[in-house]
Amino acid sequence: MSLLIVIPCLNEERHLPGLLAWLRADPAAADARIVVADGGSTDASAEIVRRAAEEDARVVLLENPKRLQSAGVNLAVARYGDGAECFVRVDAHAGYPPDFLSRLLDAYRESGAQSVVISMRAAGDACFQRAAAAAQNSVLGAGGSAHRKGGARRWIDHGHHALFNTEAFRAAGGYDESFSHNEDAEFDTRLTARGGKILLAADVLIDYYPRRTARALARQYYAYGAGRARTARKHAAPLKPRQLLPLAVAPALALACLTPLTLWAAAPAGAWLTLTLGYGAVLGARERNVCAIACGVPAAIMHAAWSIGFLRQALAGALRPERAAGQAPHSA
């Protein structure tokens, strides 16, 4: 089976050497083309890829002038997707098991799915990163997302993107390049609307590395919330209960600004913060990890940033209609 591997990248010098070495050594990638779509890295990422390309003809550095991951994947599929029955999206900011590609391909062959998605487990080394990981691995931070649970393989409507049938990806229009975040969920909405089937290979687990600072985490989740709002508006898609609950955080925080007028105004925000920090402390105690005991702090940051991003985008989006489809990654 012909295979294309796409790595959207921006300033990933810390992870690229090991990632490329692993891919190049994997027998499942023996006949694959490995394309790193670089969105204008200012670190040594591009040079790392160039050196790997000099040693291995399978490796290609592709400049992504639009910078976004969605555009990088689309461009790679357009340039190099012809002849590749399927392609695998590999995110540089993650850790993969040794048999990742072979297990993905087996799931694809056995299921007949148009997309195979995977489970992810957050991990970290710095204390704040460990706290964020503990939150993201729990219902406190992930809200019960299917691809955060592991378990048996099953059909779902959205998951962490890994493998696509190339023809199905192109037919659905590829990623919408106007999305900086949530492009995966937006694409899955279009794919399933066309009758495409998404298999969650929950037994294939990767390590995801959360942002290392509170500010970076807040910016990320603000963008996630804004992306979800755009997806909901574009497809008139109702929110799930796990998305509705954090949506109430921003209004609760706004109401708390009226506390000088009445103490009751702080009650909703106070209750949310107490529950979040308290449940976080319980999770950390279960893990017997000092850093994880504070996981309620990054969880609160994620809730608030997501809620603010969603509501702000929802209000802005009311003034501007969304496009009906993504941008198809045709051959170039």
The CATH number that applies at residue 164 is 3.90.550.10
Which pLDDT tens digit goes with each residue over 182-230? 999 999 999 999 999 999 999 898 998 899 999 999 999 999 999 999 9
More confident residue, 234 or 322: 234
Residues 302-331, mean pLDDT to the nearest whole number: 76
Confidence of residue 302 (pLDDT cuts 50, 70, 90): very high
Give residue 2's pLDDT.
Answer: 82
Residues 285-309, mean pLDDT to the nearest whole number: 93
Q: Which two tokens stand for residue 145?
A: 């997302």
Whether 115 and 206 map to the same domain: the answer is: yes
Whether 262 and 184 map to the same domain: the answer is: no
Whether 104 and 139 map to the same domain: the answer is: yes
Whether 79 and 194 map to the same domain: the answer is: yes
Residues 252-268, mean pLDDT to the nearest whole number: 95
Boundaries of domain holding 185: 3-211
Contact residues for 130 (Cβ-Cβ < 8 A; gap 6+): 124, 289, 291, 292
- Looking at the domain assignment, is residue 322 inside a domain? no
Tell which of 180, 211, 242 closes a domain: 211
C-beta separation of 135 from 298 below 8 A: yes
Residues 155-182, mean pLDDT to the nearest whole number: 94
Whether 87 and 193 map to the same domain: the answer is: yes
Whether 49 and 111 map to the same domain: the answer is: yes
The percentage of residues in the chain with a pLDDT greater than 70, rounded to a whole number, is 93
Whether 270 and 130 map to the same domain: the answer is: no
Whether 140 and 16 map to the same domain: the answer is: yes
Confidence of residue 245 (pLDDT cuts 50, 70, 90): confident
Confidence of residue 167 (pLDDT cuts 50, 70, 90): very high
Predicted confidence (pLDDT) at residue 142 exceeds the cutoff of 80: no
Whether 33 and 80 map to the same domain: the answer is: yes
C-beta separation of 225 from 305 below 8 A: yes
Give residue 140's pLDDT.
Answer: 87
The region of weakest confidence among 38-52, 55-69, 181-195, 228-242 is 228-242
Task: Kindly tell me the burial class for residue 238, based on how many C-beta atoms sit within 10 Å of its own C-beta (0-12, 13-18, 19 or more).
Answer: exposed
C-beta separation of 137 from 125 below 8 A: no
Whether 202 and 305 map to the same domain: the answer is: no
Whether 70 and 105 map to the same domain: the answer is: yes
Give residue 318's pLDDT.
Answer: 67
When divided into structural domains, the chain yields a total of 2
Q: What are phi and psi of 38, to 5 degrees?
A: -90, 125
For residue 10, which of 56, 60, 65, 53 has the smallest C-alpha distance?
65
